[in-house]
Every structure is written in structure tokens, then in C-alpha cells.
């Protein structure tokens, strides 16, 4: 399927690397103008500059998605540069691992604020602009951990479960305006964050990184592999297409069979 998004503008958070960057690239290659947003201004600006150098309409806006003022500015910049906000991809995220009884409260607030509150703020202000045009696509990055829990990830799991709830409410409210809202729920993806987890677990348990994947991280997955960012980006691109116009309020697993148990 040749998906074209010419004339559409996409805002992608967490666009400096990993899944966010892969989605930004896929949308740009399909013809969308892309505003990449990230707290890491240096990496984000460099990533969007590479897309622009390859011929894409792409630019960067440093954004802390926890801050309403930053998010409002992001939407205003996207509209000023490219005329609209048609696609909102909420991918900004981070991780911290610790038992609940030892979990730092500041880390709890940071993770929930970035992933759940940030998704709410970006949805709120992007949707206002989408309603004007009677068309929109909102894609929230949840996780397999938005459907099943893992120990020692209380803030991450709570935020990802919450994102699915936010997605469903958004879908109900957005439907009369021809706007869809969906959540993607991937298993582990080969991103800098996951690669760091693999290395840390290997060191902690005194085993190889291959054994970390097979014996710890993927023990419940029938397909014993992690995803590539491009696989998640392909699903996001499809959800932005006209062919996916009837898909809304869904939490779509791309989890190598994890939730088939």
C-alpha cells in the first residue's frame, strides 16, 4: 500500500531517537511536513536536520511535554510553519526501574508527567486545531506494559495503562469531528532506552545480553525477538492513512504474540 500524506502536518514528540524518530521519518517520506519535538534539543535538531537534508519537510522544536506553555508553543509553531496540525504522535517517554517500596517519588512524578500528562496536553492542544479542519489522527505510544504488568516498573506501567484510557476517551470525543485516536502497544523495541536496559541487566545478572533477551525480557513472548523501530513506524503510518479511517479507540498490540497467552 502506497500511503501518501501530502498536505498534512505531523507533530511527533520523542523525535530525537528510537521510535519517535522512526515515525517522523516514515511520515516525512510519505509527504507529511513534520515538526519533531524533544527535550533533547541537540539530538532532536540534528535528527530533523538529517531528514530535511534528505529532502523532507522537517523541523525541530525543543519541548518539555510536561509544560502546558511549551506544548501550546509547539502547536503554534507547527501551524505557523506548515499551516495546520493534522497528525499528533505522542511518543515522549522514559523509564526507571525499582521496587515500589524503594521507588523515588520524584521519578514517579516525572515518568507519569512526561508520558501521561504530556500525552494529554499534546492531545488537548492538537485536537483543538484538528477540529477546525474536520480531520485528524492522534497516535499514542502505549506499550505491551499498558496491557500486562512487569515488576519494578510501577510508574511506567501505570502511565502506559493510563494512555490506553486517555486514547479511548479521546476517540469518543473526537469521532464527531472525523478525528481518530489509537494507541500502539509494542513489545521491547531496539531503542537506546531498551539497549541500555539490556546492558544493565546483563551486568546485574552476570549473563550475556543474548541471555537477557531470551531468559528475562522475552520469556513470555512466543517470538523471541525485539522489534525494530521501523516496524512500529509502519503501523503508525497506516493509522494515519485514509484506509484506517474507521479504526479508533483501539489499543493495537505489536508484541510478537505476548498477549496471545
Angle (CA) 167-171-176 rounded to 5° is 160
Cell of 47: 535528527
Residues in the chain: 261
CA 86 to chain CA centroid, nearest Å: 16
- 144: alpha, beta or left, given left = phi > 0 and alpha = psi -120 to 50? alpha
In the numeric block, the cell 500502539 is attached to 184
Q: Which of 82, 103, 125, 156 is catalytic?
A: 156
CA distance 111 to 94: 6
* Whether residue 156 lies in the annotated active site: yes
What phi-psi label fits residue 250: left (phi over 0), alpha (psi between -120 and 50 degrees) or beta?
beta
- Please give, one letter per residue, the 3-state secondary structure of 165-210: HHHHHHHHHHHHHCEEEEEEEECCECCHHHHHHHHHHHHHHCCCHH
Cell numbers at 200, concatenated: 544493565
Phi, psi angles (nearest 5°) of residue 172:
-65, -45
Dmax over Cα atoms in the chain, in whole Å? 56
Q: Cell 519517535: give the residue.
A: 20
Which residues are marked as active site? 156
Amino acid at each position: 500500500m502506497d500511503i501518501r500524506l501530502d498536505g498534512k502536518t505531523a507533530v511527533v514528540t520523542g523525535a530525537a531517537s528510537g521510535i519517535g524518530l522512526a515515525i517522523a521519518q516514515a511520515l516525512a517520506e510519505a509527504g507529511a511536513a513534520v515538526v519533531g519535538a524533544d527535550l533533547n534539543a541537540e539530538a532532536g535538531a540534528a535528527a530533523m536536520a538529517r531528514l530535511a537534508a534528505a529532502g523532507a519537510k522537517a523541523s525541530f522544536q525543543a519541548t518539555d511535554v510536561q509544560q502546558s506553555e511549551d506544548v501550546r508553543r509547539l502547536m503554534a509553531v507547527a501551524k505557523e510553519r506548515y499551516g495546520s496540525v493534522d497528525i499528533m504522535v505522542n511518543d515522549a517517554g522514559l523509564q526507571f526501574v525499582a521496587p515500589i517500596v524503594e521507588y523515588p517519588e520524584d521519578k514517579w512524578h516525572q515518568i507519569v508527567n512526561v508520558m501521561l500528562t504530556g500525552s494529554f496536553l499534546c492531545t488537548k492542544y492538537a485536537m483543538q486545531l484538528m477540529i477546525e479542519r474536520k480531520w485528524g489522527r492522534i497516535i499514542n505510544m502505549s506499550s505491551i506494559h499498558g496491557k500486562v504488568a512487569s515488576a519494578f516498573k510501577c510508574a511506567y506501567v501505570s502511565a502506559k495503562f493510563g494512555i490506553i484510557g486517555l486514547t479511548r476517551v479521546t476517540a469518543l470525543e473526537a469521532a464527531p469531528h472525523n478525528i481518530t485516536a489509537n494507541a500502539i502497544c509494542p513489545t521491547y523495541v531496539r531503542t537506546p532506552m531498551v539497549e541500555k536496559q539490556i546492558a544493565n541487566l546483563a551486568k546485574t545478572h552476570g549473563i550475556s545480553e543474548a541471555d537477557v533477551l531470551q531468559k528475562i525480557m522475552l520469556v513470555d513472548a512466543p517470538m523471541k525477538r525485539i522489534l525494530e523501530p521501523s516496524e512500529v513506524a509502519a503501523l503508525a503510518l497506516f493509522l494515519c492513512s485514509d484506509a484506517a479511517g474507521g479504526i479508533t479507540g483501539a489499543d493495537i498490540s505489536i508484541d510478537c504474540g505476548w498477549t496471545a497467552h
